[in-house]
Amino acid sequence: MATLVNPQNTIEILQKYQFHFQKKFGQNFLIDAHVLDRIIEATQITKDDFVLEIGPGIGTMTQALCEQAREVVAVEIDSNLIPILKDTLRAYDNVTVLHQDILKVDFAALAEEKNEGRPIKVVANLPYYITTPIIMELFERHVPMDSITVMVQKEVAERMQQGPGSKDYGALSLAVQYYAKPQIVANVPPNCFMPRPGVGSAVIHLDCYSTPPVRVSDEKLMFALIRASFNQRRKTLANGLSHSGQLSLSKELIQECIEELGVPANIRGEALSLEQFARLADIIGEKEK
Ligand code: SAM
C-alpha cells in the first residue's frame, strides 16, 4: 500500500470506497507529508512504545505510527472508515482498530492491558470540539502517559502554552502546564487537509511530567479555584472565588488567604501563576481543616 499522505492517494481511497465526509465527526484528513514527518518526529516513538491513536481517519498517520512503534491501537468512531482501515493497514500486524467512541474508552484499562500499566504515547488529529475534554480526561484520570502529540486549533495550542499576563492565559493553560510541558512543533495551514478546515491548526507536543512541577495537597481544590477564577474573568480573585457556585468559602476567609499569599487584595485571578494557585489551595485547605 502506497503511503496515503498526499492528495492523489487520499482521493483514490475515498473514491474506491465512495466515502462521504461526515461533518459531525470533524473529518479533515491530513494530506501533507512534511506535517506528518513533524508529528512523527515530535512523538519520539521507538520500537518499545505502545501508541494510542485517536481518530485514525483513513489511516494516514496510523501507517507511519505502525512503522515506528511496537504496537498501535487506533480508535475510530465512523463505521464507514473501518473497512478502509482494514485495507490501508493490511501490511501491518502490530495494529488493532477499535470501532468505538473515544469518549467511552477506558484509557487506564487499555494501558494496563496493552502496556502493563507503563506510560503510553497518545497521538491524535481530532475534531476540535472533543480535543479539550479528551486531553483533560486523560490527565485527570491519571492515565500513565509519556506524551500526547495532538493537532489542535491554532488558538487552543497557543492558550496551552501561555502564562500569567497574556489574554489567552486561562484554566486550560494551567491544567495542561500542571501535567505536562507543552511545545508547539508545527503550525499547519488549512491546505494541509482534505477537506480544508475553516481555521488554522497547530501540532502541540505535551511532554507529561512523572511528578507535577508544583506541589499541592488537594489537587481538586486547586482546580476548583482555577475554574472559579477564570469563570469570572473581569472580577477580582476575591470576588470570583466568593461568587463561585462550586466553592462555599466566605469572603472574609478568602480575603485572609489572599493576604497570606502575599499578593494585592484586588488582584485578578489571571495574574496568578500555577505555583501561586497551588499555594492558595494549600492555605485555604489548612484554614478549612
Ligand atoms: N487522523 C486522521 C488524519 O490525520 O488524516 C483523521 C483526522 S480527522 C480530523 C478526525 C478523525 O476522528 C475522523 O476520522 C473522525 O471520524 C474521528 N472521530 C471523531 N470523533 C471521534 C470519537 N468520538 N471517537 C473516535 N474517533 C472519532
DSSP 236: B
Query: From its phi and psi, is residue 46 left (phi > 0), alpha (psi between -120 and 50) or beta?
Result: beta
Q: Quick one: pLDDT at residue 236?
A: 93
Q: Decide: 140 and 108 in contact? Cβ < 8 Å.
A: no
Tell whether ligand 1 has an atom less than 6 A from the beta carbon of residue 10. Answer: no
Residue 269 has pLDDT above 60, yes or no: yes
Question: Quick one: what percent of the chain has pLDDT higher than 70?
Answer: 99
Cell of 150: 495532538
Q: Quick one: pLDDT at residue 270?
A: 92
Give the integer Cα–Cα distance in Å for 151 and 154: 9
Mean pLDDT value of segment 166-175: 92
Q: What is the pTM of this model?
A: 0.93
Tell whether ligand 1 has an atom less than 6 A from the beta carbon of residue 55. Answer: yes
Tell whether ligand 1 has an atom less than 6 A from the beta carbon of residue 29. Answer: yes
Question: What is the residue with the minimal CA distance to atom 18 of ligand 1?
Answer: 55
What is the number of the ligand 1 atom nearest to the C-alpha of 56? 1
> What residue type is assigned to position 111 of the chain?
A
Residue 233 has pLDDT above 90, yes or no: no
Q: Quick one: pLDDT at residue 248?
A: 86
- Residues contacting 112, CB < 8 A, separation 6+: none
The 3 state secondary structure assigned to 24-86 is HHCCCEECCHHHHHHHHHHHCCCCCCEEEEECCCCCHHHHHHHHHCCEEEEEECCHHHHHHHH
Tell whether ligand 1 has an atom less than 6 A from the beta carbon of residue 199. Answer: no
Q: Quick one: pLDDT at residue 99?
A: 98
pLDDT band at 191 (very low <50, low <70, confident <90, very high): very high
DSSP 168: T
Asked which of 209-213, 233-237, 282-286 is least confident by mean pLDDT, the reply is 233-237
Q: Which residue has the higher pLDDT, 248 or 119?
A: 119
Task: Please list the residue range(s) of the chain that carry CATH number 3.40.50.150.
Answer: 7-208
Tell whether ligand 1 has an atom less than 6 A from the beta carbon of residue 31. Answer: no
Q: Quick one: pLDDT at residue 86?
A: 98
Q: Quick one: pLDDT at residue 247?
A: 85
Distance 101 CA to ligand 1 centre (A): 10
Residue 93 has pLDDT above 80, yes or no: yes
Mean pLDDT value of segment 201-226: 96
Tell whether ligand 1 has an atom less than 6 A from the beta carbon of residue 170. Answer: no
Q: Name the residue of 35, 43, 75, 77 whose CB sits within 8 Å of the most ligand 1 atoms, as the mutation to test its pocket.
A: 77
Asked which of 161-175, 184-198, 226-240 is least confident by mean pLDDT, the reply is 226-240
Give the integer Cα–Cα distance in Å for 126 and 36: 14
Tell whether ligand 1 has an atom less than 6 A from the beta carbon of residue 77. Answer: yes
Q: Quick one: pLDDT at residue 2?
A: 64
Tell whether ligand 1 has an atom less than 6 A from the beta carbon of residue 53. Answer: no
Q: What is the mean pLDDT of the chain?
A: 94
Residue 142 has pLDDT above 70, yes or no: yes
Q: Decide: 185 and 42 in contact? Cβ < 8 Å.
A: yes
Residue 157's CB is within 10 A of a number of other CB atoms, namely 24
Q: Quick one: pLDDT at residue 56?
A: 98
CATH class of 219-288: mainly alpha
Q: Quick one: pLDDT at residue 128?
A: 80
Q: Which helix (H) or strand (E) segment is 161 a member of?
A: helix 154-161
The β-bridge partners of 96 are 73
pLDDT band at 62 (very low <50, low <70, confident <90, very high): very high
Between 1.10.357.10, 1.20.120.790, 3.40.50.150, 3.40.50.9100, what CATH number should domain 7-208 receive? 3.40.50.150
> What residue type is assigned to position 286 of the chain?
E
Mean pLDDT value of segment 114-142: 91
Q: What is the pLDDT of residues 69-78, one digit of tens each?
A: 999 999 999 9
Task: Please list the residue range(s) of the chain that carry CATH number 1.10.8.100.
Answer: 219-288
Tell whether ligand 1 has an atom less than 6 A from the beta carbon of residue 162. Answer: no
Residue 166 has pLDDT above 70, yes or no: yes
DSSP 94: S
Q: Which residue has the higher pLDDT, 136 or 33?
A: 33
Q: Quick one: pLDDT at residue 122?
A: 98
Closest residue by Cα to residue 171 from 103, 254, 269, 245: 269
Residue 1 has pLDDT above 80, yes or no: no
